[in-house]
């Protein structure tokens, strides 16, 4: 090794050691390592068996929620019961963020021998639908979880919830307010000032009871009255300033209750009480409900409950993934405005989309486990999801050959009309799974156009004029002639094959490259859909108009690909690795034996990062800005933080616009505006804060 080589080797070693230390520190080291070891030993098992091993037997990583449950079990708080729930609102399809919540609540119940309820939180008749109920049930089952007989609907509790509201009114802990929405907000005050009592706060119990009943009986229109809890208008927690409990929603038919009800409970009221009705012990939700916990506890402390102690709410970090939007409202918009083919478009972050794309339930569960459970929000890199998918598919799917961009090759010394059936193993030897198929070899085959170079660049190890290459599972061929059309394009190659080279190295010479191929006569035409990210912005959710960042090249349809014939009659949804290309899955909606359609699930390697590397420095700033202090070779001089913030703004017109607006409209100083717009996460946080507190300076 020369000194350059030694230096490079040392550098790689240092990197590896550093990476291992990081993994150890983050607690991921043993899990990643164990997962790999386990997978190695189980490949002869069927897919189903494998699922049981990877997902159930593998002890979930410890986290603060598990520590809390362990403690509750130790102290006997709930008499050893662990009852969790997953409470989706049936107003959209499940997305990968929900998968995290599902894996957590169902996973904990599984782990502790408890049960997880599936409860549809269906308290808004305007947006909910039975289509969503069915899709959610289907997705949860597909992910491999089971609610057994614990399927519930908040809408089944409407009568009991109404009684709880009456109980609160009777205790003078709730009142009918007749201010409108705008006035209620105004009266609620701000972080700096206390709220003022509504002029209707002093209504008598009798008056409230009569009015509330009249609301229920449909005597008032939407917005005329609401029911509010009487808590504390001076509470530092704005949520505790007399939260809304009920509102009137007339003119909508609820998908389960029809027009029986025209008042509907608010989340804060319905959720904790539904938990209590069902005897939930641990109610896990995302961090944005942290401030709602006080209402949760207050309500449960102020009504007569059949169970004690009451359930307890615990928050965990929401899953966000770079380049994804994860709000159901935005996903619905993508569907209704036809930016995608539907909820199950393979580019969507929905469970249905990922299933159609070829992701496995195991890979999504592995991903949830890899992400872990934290108390602080963060953004997970998209590559981590792809890693989980690739890692799972690698050990599971058979390899077959498909040529995406065919170039015809005529093997001149192979007899015309003859066909040789070659035995080709489905798995490489480092995957101890067995099985093979027969692949027809004939005089005319297709190879990938870019596996041939007339004037090869340095290091090109595939086919070149006069050179040799191995055809996978077949023979070594030598290129003898290149045939071109009038416009100098290569239309065909002439080759000879060496009959002595089937399954063994040619004598006396080295052939380095091996390429995939398909018999021209036997290959079947397939449509191949290749997906890129739906958004070209790393954080589309943080921008003013996420639709502006739709990636116009997120779908590429290839209608000229040719696939080996062995797969024709496999059921739709079958997954394969197309050798040397990536993982593919036949489309469960559009594929049929007459017209095969394949989705690329994930490329073999992460081509995206490489593409980013190749981009000019300015284009990379968007991505790099999330870790501005990272040292890089391209940045010989360390920039000051102020310079980094300025650079980020100059690359991002939206941040720049905010920088101006914060000074001009919100009256912030230049320094304040600078800090608030020099980091995307801080900027997003500030915008979110502005949305709830109209006091930018504070
Ligand atoms: P959205 O904000 O997209 O409308 P949501 O939270 O209103 O989503 P629900 O159907 O109410 O959607 O969610 C059901 C459960 O899933 C909730 O307990 C919620 O906390 C959890 N959940 C939703 N999104 C995520 C996410 N990105 N990461 C983790 N859990 C999530
Ligand atoms: Mg919700």
Tens digit of each residue's pLDDT (9 = 90 or more) over 11-24: 555 454 445 444 44
As a whole number, mean pLDDT of residues 167-174 equals 98
Distance (Å, rounded) from C-alpha 655 to C-alpha 647?
11
The catalytic position among 89, 381, 420, 492 is 89
In this structure, are residues 96 and 122 in contact, taking their beta carbons and an 8 Å threshold?
A: no
Please report how many Cα atoms fall inside a 13 Å half-sphere around the Cα of residue 464, on the Cβ side.
Answer: 12
Atom 3, ligand 1: which residue's CA is nearest? Answer: 327
Q: Percent of the chain at pLDDT above 90?
A: 73
Ligand 1 contact via 683 beta carbon (within 6 Å)? no
- Name residues whose C-beta falls within 8 Å of residue 563's C-beta, 6 or more positions apart in sequence: 400, 401, 402, 403, 518, 523, 524, 525, 526, 578, 596, 598
Going by DSSP bridges, is the β-strand pair 420-425/282-286 parallel, antiparallel, or unpaired?
Answer: unpaired
As a whole number, mean pLDDT of residues 644-668 equals 76
Closest listed ligand to the CA of 91:
1
Ligand 1 contact via 133 beta carbon (within 6 Å)? no
Distance (Å, rounded) from C-alpha 262 to C-alpha 121?
17
Active site residue 89: yes
Question: How far is the CA of 206 from the CAs of 160, 168, 174, 225, 616, in angstroms?
Answer: 20, 12, 12, 16, 72
Q: Percent of the chain at pLDDT above 70?
A: 84
Q: Please tell me the distance between residue 272's alpha carbon and the centre of ligand 2 in angstroms.
A: 13
In this structure, are residues 344 and 589 in contact, taking their beta carbons and an 8 Å threshold?
A: yes
- Which atom from ligand 1 is nearest to the alpha carbon of 320? 27
Distance (Å, rounded) from C-alpha 248 to C-alpha 330?
26
- Per-residue confidence (pLDDT) for residue 39, from 0 to 100: 35
Report the number of secondary-structure helices (H) and strands (E) in the chain. 21, 27
- The whole-chain average pLDDT of the chain stands at 87
- Ligand 2 is a single-atom ion; what residues have CB below 5 A from it? 89
Q: Please tell me the distance between residue 629's alpha carbon and the centre of ligand 1 in angstroms.
A: 32
Whether the pLDDT of residue 493 is over 60: the answer is yes
Atom 9, ligand 1: which residue's CA is nearest? Answer: 88
- Per-residue confidence (pLDDT) for residue 189, from 0 to 100: 96
Ligand 1 contact via 89 beta carbon (within 6 Å)? yes
Of 272, 274, 286, 311, the residue with max ligand 1 atoms within 8 A of its CB, to mutate for a pocket test, comes to 286
- Per-residue confidence (pLDDT) for residue 239, from 0 to 100: 97
- Per-residue confidence (pLDDT) for residue 532, from 0 to 100: 94
C-alpha torsion sign, points 158, 164, 166, 172 = negative
Closest of 418, 523, 428, 415 to residue 472, by C-alpha: 428
Atom 27, ligand 1: which residue's CA is nearest? Answer: 97
Closest of 423, 447, 446 to residue 435, by C-alpha: 423
Q: Cα dihedral angle (665, 668, 671, 672), rounded to 10 degrees?
A: -110
The least confident of 22-26, 152-156, 220-224, 628-632 is: 628-632
- Per-residue confidence (pLDDT) for residue 300, from 0 to 100: 97
As a whole number, mean pLDDT of residues 558-577 equals 96
**Cβ count within 10 A of residue 22:** 11
The residue behind tokens 């102690």 is 309
Closest of 584, 606, 604, 580 to residue 469, by C-alpha: 580
- Which atom from ligand 1 is nearest to the alpha carbon of 289? 20
Q: Please tell me the distance between residue 378's alpha carbon and the centre of ligand 1 in angstroms.
A: 15
Q: Please tell me the distance between residue 696's alpha carbon and the centre of ligand 1 in angstroms.
A: 28
The catalytic position among 61, 249, 257, 318 is 318
Q: Please tell me the distance between residue 434's alpha carbon and the centre of ligand 2 in angstroms.
A: 46
- Per-residue confidence (pLDDT) for residue 689, from 0 to 100: 66
In this structure, are residues 400 and 513 in contact, taking their beta carbons and an 8 Å threshold?
A: no
DSSP 499: G
- Per-residue confidence (pLDDT) for residue 688, from 0 to 100: 64
- Per-residue confidence (pLDDT) for residue 694, from 0 to 100: 63
Ligand 1 contact via 94 beta carbon (within 6 Å)? no
Q: Please tell me the distance between residue 352's alpha carbon and the centre of ligand 1 in angstroms.
A: 16
Q: Please tell me the distance between residue 98's alpha carbon and the centre of ligand 1 in angstroms.
A: 6
Ligand 1 contact via 167 beta carbon (within 6 Å)? no
In this structure, are residues 324 and 299 in contact, taking their beta carbons and an 8 Å threshold?
A: no
Closest listed ligand to the CA of 284:
1
Ligand 1 contact via 379 beta carbon (within 6 Å)? no
Ligand 1 contact via 372 beta carbon (within 6 Å)? no
- Per-residue confidence (pLDDT) for residue 659, from 0 to 100: 82
Closest listed ligand to the CA of 288:
1
- Name residues whose C-beta falls within 8 Å of residue 148's C-beta, 6 or more positions apart in sequence: 115
Ligand 1 contact via 526 beta carbon (within 6 Å)? no
223: left (phi over 0), alpha (psi -120 to 50) or beta: left
DSSP 290: G
In this structure, are residues 39 and 53 in contact, taking their beta carbons and an 8 Å threshold?
A: no
In this structure, are residues 649 and 660 in contact, taking their beta carbons and an 8 Å threshold?
A: no
Whether the pLDDT of residue 29 is over 90: the answer is no
Distance (Å, rounded) from C-alpha 276 to C-alpha 167?
15
The least confident of 160-169, 556-565, 644-653 is: 644-653
Active site residue 318: yes
Closest listed ligand to the CA of 350:
1
Structural element, H or E, at residue 491:
strand 490-498
Q: Please tell me the distance between residue 97's alpha carbon and the centre of ligand 1 in angstroms.
A: 7
- Place 616 in a pLDDT band, splitting at 50, 70 and 90: low
The catalytic position among 85, 203, 241, 328 is 328
For the purposes of burial, counting CB atoms within 10 Å of the CB of 473, is it exposed (0-12), middle (13-18) or buried (19 or more)?
buried
Closest listed ligand to the CA of 97:
1
Active site residue 328: yes
Tell me the per-residue pLDDT of 503-541, one tens digit each, with 9 for 90 and over.
888 888 899 899 999 999 999 999 999 999 999 999 998
- Per-residue confidence (pLDDT) for residue 158, from 0 to 100: 98
Of 98, 311, 318, 368, the residue with max ligand 1 atoms within 8 A of its CB, to mutate for a pocket test, comes to 98
- Which atom from ligand 1 is nearest to the alpha carbon of 318? 28
**Cβ count within 10 A of residue 351:** 27
Whether the pLDDT of residue 448 is over 60: the answer is yes
As a whole number, mean pLDDT of residues 615-640 equals 39
- Per-residue confidence (pLDDT) for residue 22, from 0 to 100: 47
Tell me the per-residue pLDDT of 125-157, one tens digit each, with 9 for 90 and over.
999 999 999 999 999 999 999 999 999 999 999
Distance (Å, rounded) from C-alpha 480 to C-alpha 679?
59
Ligand 1 contact via 327 beta carbon (within 6 Å)? yes
Q: Please tell me the distance between residue 88's alpha carbon and the centre of ligand 2 in angstroms.
A: 7
Distance (Å, rounded) from C-alpha 655 to C-alpha 661?
10
Ligand 1 contact via 101 beta carbon (within 6 Å)? yes
Atom 15, ligand 1: which residue's CA is nearest? Answer: 88
For the purposes of burial, counting CB atoms within 10 Å of the CB of 78, is it exposed (0-12), middle (13-18) or buried (19 or more)?
buried
Distance (Å, rounded) from C-alpha 153 to C-alpha 38?
39
- Place 617 in a pLDDT band, splitting at 50, 70 and 90: very low
Q: Cα dihedral angle (390, 585, 587, 595), rounded to 10 degrees?
A: 150
- Place 384 in a pLDDT band, splitting at 50, 70 and 90: very high
Distance (Å, rounded) from C-alpha 173 to C-alpha 201?
10
């Amino acid at each position: 090794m020369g000194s350059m080589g030694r230096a490079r080797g040392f550098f790689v070693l240092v990197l590896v050691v550093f990476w291992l230390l990081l993994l150890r520190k983050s607690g991921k080291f043993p899990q990643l390592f164990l997962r790999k070891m386990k997978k190695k030993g189980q490949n002869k098992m069927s897919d189903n068996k494998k699922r049981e091993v990877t997902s159930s037997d593998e002890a979930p990583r410890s986290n603060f929620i598990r520590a809390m449950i362990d403690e509750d079990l130790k102290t006997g708080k709930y008499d050893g019961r662990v009852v969790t729930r997953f409470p989706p609102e049936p107003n959209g399809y499940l997305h990968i963020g929900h998968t995290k919540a599902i894996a957590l609540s169902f996973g904990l119940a599984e782990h502790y021998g408890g049960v997880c309820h599936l409860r549809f939180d269906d308290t808004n008749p305007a947006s909910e639908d039975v289509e969503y109920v069915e899709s959610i049930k289907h997705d949860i089952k597909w992910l491999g979880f089971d609610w057994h007989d614990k399927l519930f609907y908040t809408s089944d509790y409407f009568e009991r919830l109404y009684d709880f509201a009456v109980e609160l009114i009777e205790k003078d802990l709730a009142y009918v307010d007749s201010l409108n929405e705008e006035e209620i907000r105004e009266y609620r005050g701000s972080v700096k000032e206390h709220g003022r009592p509504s002029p209707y706060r002093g209504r008598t119990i009798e008056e409230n009871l009569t009015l509330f009943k009249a609301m229920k009986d449909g005597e008032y229109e939407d917005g005329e009255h609401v029911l509010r809890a009487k808590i504390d208008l001076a509470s530092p927690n704005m949520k505790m300033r007399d939260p809304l409990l009920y509102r009137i929603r007339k003119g909508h038919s609820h998908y389960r209750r029809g027009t029986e009800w025209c008042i509907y409970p608010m989340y804060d009221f319905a959720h904790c009480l539904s938990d209590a009705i069902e005897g939930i012990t641990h109610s896990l939700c995302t961090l944005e409900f942290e401030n709602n916990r006080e209402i949760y506890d207050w309500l449960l402390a102020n009504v007569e409950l059949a169970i004690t102690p009451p359930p307890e709410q615990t928050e965990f970090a929401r899953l966000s993934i770079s380049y994804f939007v994860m709000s159901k409202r935005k996903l619905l918009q993508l569907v209704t405005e036809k930016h995608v083919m539907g909820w199950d478009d393979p580019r969507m972050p929905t469970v249905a989309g990922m299933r159609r794309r070829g992701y496995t339930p195991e890979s999504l569960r592995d991903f949830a486990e890899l992400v872990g459970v934290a108390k602080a929000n963060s953004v997970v890199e998209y590559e981590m999801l792809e890693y989980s998918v690739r890692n799972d598919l690698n050990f599971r799917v058979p390899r077959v050959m498909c040529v995406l961009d065919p170039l015809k090759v005529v093997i001149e010394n192979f007899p015309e009309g003859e066909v040789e059936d070659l035995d080709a193993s489905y798995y490489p030897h480092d995957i101890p799974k067995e099985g093979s198929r027969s692949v027809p070899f004939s005089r005319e085959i297709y190879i990938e156009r870019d596996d041939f170079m007339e004037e090869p660049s340095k290091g090109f190890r595939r086919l070149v004029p006069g050179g040799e290459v191995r055809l996978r599972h077949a023979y070594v061929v030598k290129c003898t002639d290149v045939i071109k059309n009038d416009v100098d394009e290569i239309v065909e190659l002439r080759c000879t094959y060496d009959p002595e080279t089937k399954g063994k190295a040619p004598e006396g010479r080295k052939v380095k490259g091996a390429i995939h191929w398909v018999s021209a006569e036997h290959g079947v035409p397939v449509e191949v859909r290749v997906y890129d990210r739906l958004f070209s912005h790393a954080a589309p959710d943080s921008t003013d108009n996420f639709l502006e960042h739709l990636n116009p090249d997120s779908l590429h349809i290839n209608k000229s690909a040719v696939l080996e014939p062995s797969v024709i009659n496999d059921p739709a949804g079958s997954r394969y690795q197309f050798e040397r290309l990536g993982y593919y899955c036949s489309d469960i909606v559009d594929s049929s034996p007459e017209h095969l359609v394949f989705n690329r699930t994930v490329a073999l390697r992460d081509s995206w990062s490489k593409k980013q590397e190749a981009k000019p420095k300015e284009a990379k700033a968007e991505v790099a800005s999330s870790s501005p202090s990272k040292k890089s070779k391209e940045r010989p001089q360390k920039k000051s933080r102020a310079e980094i913030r300025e650079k980020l703004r100059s690359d991002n017109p939206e941040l720049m616009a905010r920088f101006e607006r914060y000074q001009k409209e919100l009256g912030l100083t230049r320094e304040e505006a600078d800090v608030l717009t020099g980091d995307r996460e801080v900027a997003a946080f500030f915008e979110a804060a502005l949305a709830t507190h109209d006091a930018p300076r504070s």
